[in-house]
């Protein structure tokens, strides 16, 4: 929902209402003492409004006004005036150097000290103060952003480490980085009705991929369509002991809608694939245990290579042959295909427009390392731009880097998907979508989101610990249906 433009103090009121709706649902026990720590800027103004609303919701509120800055924002001052005058909100003034406040062994701390208002590392008294609060054994919640954390660059110095962060409109870039998980805790966000045009005009290469971004992207099938209209996928996958990867990627390609599927695999996998995936055709490599030769590829619409491939000398020659023959045919490179390219320093041979789906270690082998998460994002962008390729750096909130330098972070998926074979499923989905005529950008966005959504649907019934890669495949159909609604 979106509202017409309003004054900043009223937007602050809306943000506080949104936060309180979440908070009351998350922490319904009104007898747990709340300790709200407010700075004197706009984040502190948020905290004052939250304190007022939670007081009226019958929570026991103690408010700490912390003078990290000698100045007070206008919206902070307005919310000071709005505090109840003769009612039971305890307000404690805390100038720099104040004694550290004693806190009960249980309760909830709410951080509204700085938010996005931090411009330099915290030092001295306030650094020690925030370290003291971070050690609190009760629940700690941040409004918008934990104090001391930089939203869009590397954080140096002290950060208020919280259990939950509630942000507004869109998640902060810092939330996407593993190094900040212990600082941010479990994060969520909600819209406060900022103008959509205003958001879209923001100059940033970083975007958050959600269901709305994919609306209308799925191609509807005509009643008289036939299988030849939905492409012929070739997956080059599997080796002795790793035929499960070929099965998983093959099943995923079929569940993603490819009209025809051929799996090229070593001859030891022929019976496994014929019995395990009767819908697929099997092309047998002349080598018994490894990929060693490229089949005729002219009849295939899209090719995916790497799942369970191995990196024997035979397979190196096969990848070499593929890179020389592929031309501009849609291509997905994953797993051992990426490792072979890295080992042979063949990065410049990667075809323009190809999709690569490395996990962090595979990415490092291909394109190098960087000292922190923000530097890694810049390396990801630079690699996609330099080689004119699409790179899906897998992980929580997988990052999709496009050749124009734009990066999309995925909003679907869960920790249960950190299991063997999950990446093979993604390769199958991506290749199956390419075979149907989706562009590489469309395949990346659709494929990554659908893969994560299928994992979320599987986790609803199975939980994180028991989720298998095959469960992701089993829920792809329902994920597609949800995208059509």
Question: In this predicted model, what pLDDT tens digit does every residue of 245-280 receive, in sequence order?
Answer: 999 999 999 999 999 999 999 999 999 999 999 999
Question: In this predicted model, what pLDDT tens digit does every residue of 5-57 receive, in sequence order?
Answer: 678 899 999 999 999 999 999 999 999 999 999 999 999 999 999 999 999 99
Residue 203: its pLDDT value, please? 87
At 317, which helix (H) or strand (E)?
Answer: helix 313-325
Please determine, for residue 408, whether its predicted confidence score (pLDDT) is greater than 70: yes
Question: In this predicted model, what pLDDT tens digit does every residue of 355-390 receive, in sequence order?
Answer: 999 999 999 999 999 999 999 999 999 999 999 999
Please determine, for residue 321, whether its predicted confidence score (pLDDT) is greater than 70: yes
- φ/ψ of residue 162, rounded to 5: -120, 170
Residue 86: its pLDDT value, please? 64
Q: CB of 273 within 8 A of CB of 250?
A: yes
DSSP state of 95: -
In this structure, the number of other CB atoms found within 10 A of the CB of residue 201 comes to 8
Please list, in sequence order, all residues whose beta carbon lies within 8 angstroms of the beta carbon of residue 72, skipping any fewer than 6 positions away. 40, 41, 80
Residue 85: its pLDDT value, please? 78
Q: What is the mean pLDDT of residues 345-353?
A: 98
- φ/ψ of residue 338, rounded to 5: -70, -40
Maximum separation of any 2 CA atoms in the chain, in Å: 86
Domains of the chain (ranges, CATH numbers): 8-200 (3.40.50.10260), 213-260+297-484 (3.40.1190.20)
Please determine, for residue 1, whether its predicted confidence score (pLDDT) is greater than 70: no
pLDDT band of 4, cuts 50, 70, 90: low
- φ/ψ of residue 264, rounded to 5: -95, 120
Average pLDDT of the chain, as a whole number: 96
């Amino acid at each position: 929902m979106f509202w017409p433009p309003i004054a900043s103090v009223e937007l602050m009121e809306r943000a506080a209402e949104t936060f309180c709706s979440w908070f009351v649902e998350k922490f319904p026990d009104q007898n747990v003492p709340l300790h709200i720590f407010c700075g004197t800027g706009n984040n502190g103004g948020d905290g004052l409004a939250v304190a007022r609303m939670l007081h009226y919701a019958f929570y026991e509120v103690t408010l700490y006004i912390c003078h990290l800055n000698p100045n007070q924002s206008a919206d902070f001052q307005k919310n000071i005036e709005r505090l109840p005058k003769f009612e039971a909100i305890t307000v404690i003034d805390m100038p720099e150097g104040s004694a550290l406040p004693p806190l009960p062994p249980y309760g909830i701390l709410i951080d509204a000290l700085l938010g996005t208002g931090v411009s330099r590392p915290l030092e001295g008294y306030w650094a020690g103060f925030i370290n003291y609060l971070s050690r609190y054994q009760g629940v700690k919640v941040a409004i918008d952003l934990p104090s001391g954390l930089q939203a869009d660059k590397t954080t140096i110095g002290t950060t208020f480490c919280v259990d939950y962060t509630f942000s507004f409109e869109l998640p902060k870039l810092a939330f996407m980085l593993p190094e900040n998980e212990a600082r941010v805790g479990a994060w969520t966000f909600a819209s406060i009705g900022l103008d959509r045009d205003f958001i879209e005009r923001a100059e940033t290469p970083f975007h958050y991929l959600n269901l709305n971004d994919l609306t209308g992207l799925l191609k509807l099938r005509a009643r008289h369509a036939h299988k030849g209209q939905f492409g012929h996928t070739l997956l080059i996958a599997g080796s002795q002991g790793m035929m499960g990867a070929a099965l998983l990627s093959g099943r995923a390609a079929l569940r993603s809608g490819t009209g025809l599927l051929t799996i090229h695999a070593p001859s030891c996998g022929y019976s496994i694939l014929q019995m395990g995936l009767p819908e697929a055709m099997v092309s047998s490599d002349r080598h018994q245990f490894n990929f060693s030769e490229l089949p005729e590829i002219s009849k295939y619409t899209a090719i995916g290579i790497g799942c369970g491939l191995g990196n024997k000398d035979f397979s190196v020659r096969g990848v070499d042959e593929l890179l020389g023959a592929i031309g501009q045919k849609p291509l997905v490179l994953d797993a051992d295909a990426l490792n072979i390219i890295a080992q042979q320093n063949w990065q410049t041979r990667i075809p323009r427009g190809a999709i690569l789906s490395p996990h962090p270690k595979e990415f490092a082998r291909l394109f190098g390392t960087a000292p922190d998460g923000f530097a890694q994002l810049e390396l990801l962008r630079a690699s996609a731009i330099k080689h004119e390729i699409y790179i899906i750096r897998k992980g929580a909130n997988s990052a999709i880097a496009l050749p124009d330098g734009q990066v999309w972070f995925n909003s679907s998926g869960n920790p249960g998907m950190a299991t063997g074979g999950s990446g093979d499923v993604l390769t199958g989905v991506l290749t199956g979508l390419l075979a149907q005529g989706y562009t590489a950008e469309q395949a990346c966005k659709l494929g990554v989101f659908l893969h994560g959504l299928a994992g979320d649907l599987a986790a609803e019934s199975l939980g994180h610990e028991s989720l298998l890669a095959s469960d992701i495949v089993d829920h792809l159909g329902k994920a597609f249906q949800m995208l059509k609604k």
